Amino acid sequence: MTIMPKPSQNIPDRGIYERRESVVRSYSRAMPRQFNRAEHVWIHDDQGGRYLDFLAGCSTLNYGHNHPVLKQALLDYISADGITHGLDLHTDAKASFLEALETVILKPRGLDYRAMFTGPTGTNAVEAAIKLARKVTGRELVIAFTNGFHGMTLGALACTGNAAKRGGAGVPLSHVSHEPYDGYYGPDVDTADLLEQRLADPSSGLDAPAAIIVETVQGEGGLNAASPQWLRRIAAIAKRHGALLIVDDIQAGCGRTGGFFSFEEMGFTPDIVTLAKSLSGMGLPFALTLFRPELDQWSPGEHNGTFRGNNHAFVTADAALRHFWGDEGFIADVKRRGDLLAARLERLAADLGLSTRGRGMMRGIDVGSGEAAEAITSACFAQGLIIETSGAHDEIVKVLAPLVISDDELAAGLDILERCTRDVLAAAYDVAAE
């Protein structure tokens, strides 16, 4: 397999970014290339470089780049002058997507949800979810968790734990309490017990919540994976205290952790689920908020948005659901590859005295510091592997390979990762030993 990274000095002047793009850009700093083409697990730069993509758009490209089935469906749709933009008008594309959602996803799983097409971003799906929870319950407080990430608009940002992101708000973020996630205080403290005690105590200062919002695996917060037992406890606590349970499945859903939803076979059903990222299948902006029909208490247009019906995304999402989720083949592959990934990471971690995080195809290795992690991902990039970090201190090197990756490609990427991790940590050890 050919991986062909290109050194950045060959790159022609790109002053247009300096002149016209805000300094808020981030990934383009660590990967200073100009990309122009991508297919499957590969992304190409304009100097002929080819990179293996273990970032996958932060889990937006679970089916890889420009998957031929999805691409063809979209080309056909555009060629035929299919509706591109129609606000929330009914279109063939929307109807077909909804039918796929019903028959391919919901019915086989025994789930009865209504779909709300929010603005096509994850943060918008979260805003709609918490709005709905507040409306239905008549309460204001939302309980979120340490290290949770839910978006950057003010309502979702209030649910987000990261101090740097929170600080960007410029106003205090209110109406949310952040409680300790599963394992936050170590293995001996059951944080569900802590939450239950405070909610049951009329003098704890924790007001009655409208909702509890949780990721089953915290994508940005360090790939912490909650146990099924803990999640069932949280679901039960929500129910007992009249709060709605929102599972934010934006990063962990769409197959990343095995099932279509990350909470399948765990013994509880969320009241509300948010989806985005890999939902469109091809990386197009698309988001959904799903909820039990009894909760569908919106007035028409009470939450809306110009791009809430992204028909191109309906088309690719429809194709993705039917192509990948119609039988058990894809899911079996993902589970198998997830096990391969786990085995490789655990072996490496054991060798180096490190620990791993995550579940399914959403795993990482804790290398001890953000500095070490950045050194590793930089070294990987120089060898043609795109990979990023996660966690409160960016100390987790995370593997978010496309789910469609072949075993050989996965192994090739992990080889680079392993090599770079060993090198960087050995060098750090040498420095420390001097």
Query: Which C-beta is closer to a copy of itself: that of 143 or that of 425?
Result: 143
Query: Which C-beta is closer to a copy of itself: that of 266 or that of 389?
Result: 389
Query: Which C-beta is closer to a copy of itself: that of 157 or that of 266?
Result: 157
Q: From the CA atom positions of the chain, what is the Rg in Å?
A: 22
Query: Are residues 134 and 320 in contact, defined by beta-carbon separation less than 8 angstroms?
Result: no
Q: Residue 434 Cβ, how far from a copy of itself at the closest point, in Å?
A: 29
**Dist. CA 306–CA 119, nearest whole Å:** 7
Q: Residue 156 Cβ, how far from a copy of itself at the closest point, in Å?
A: 7
- The one-letter amino acid code at 43 reads I
Q: Residue 226 Cβ, how far from a copy of itself at the closest point, in Å?
A: 16
Going by their DSSP bridges, the two strands 396-399 and 362-366 should be labelled as: antiparallel
Query: Which C-beta is closer to a copy of itself: that of 81 or that of 265?
Result: 81
Query: Which C-beta is closer to a copy of itself: that of 193 or that of 407?
Result: 193
Q: Residue 125 Cβ, how far from a copy of itself at the closest point, in Å?
A: 11
Helices (H), 109-223: 122-137, 154-158, 163-167, 191-200
Residue 363, SS3 per DSSP: strand
Query: Are residues 54 and 387 in contact, defined by beta-carbon separation less than 8 angstroms?
Result: yes
**Dist. CA 80–CA 93, nearest whole Å:** 12
The crossing angle, in degrees rounded to 10, of helices 92-100 and 311-325 is: 30
Q: Residue 90 Cβ, how far from a copy of itself at the closest point, in Å?
A: 5
Query: Which C-beta is closer to a copy of itself: that of 84 or that of 406?
Result: 84
Q: Residue 231 Cβ, how far from a copy of itself at the closest point, in Å?
A: 19
CA distances from 304 to 97, 119, 316 (A): 19, 7, 22
Q: Residue 404 Cβ, how far from a copy of itself at the closest point, in Å?
A: 15
Please name the residues in contact with 407: beta carbons below 8 A apart, sequence gap of 6 or more. Answer: 337, 340
Measured from the Cβ of residue 329, the count of other Cβ atoms closer than 10 Å reads 10
Query: Which C-beta is closer to a copy of itself: that of 169 or that of 340?
Result: 169
Residue 232, SS3 per DSSP: helix
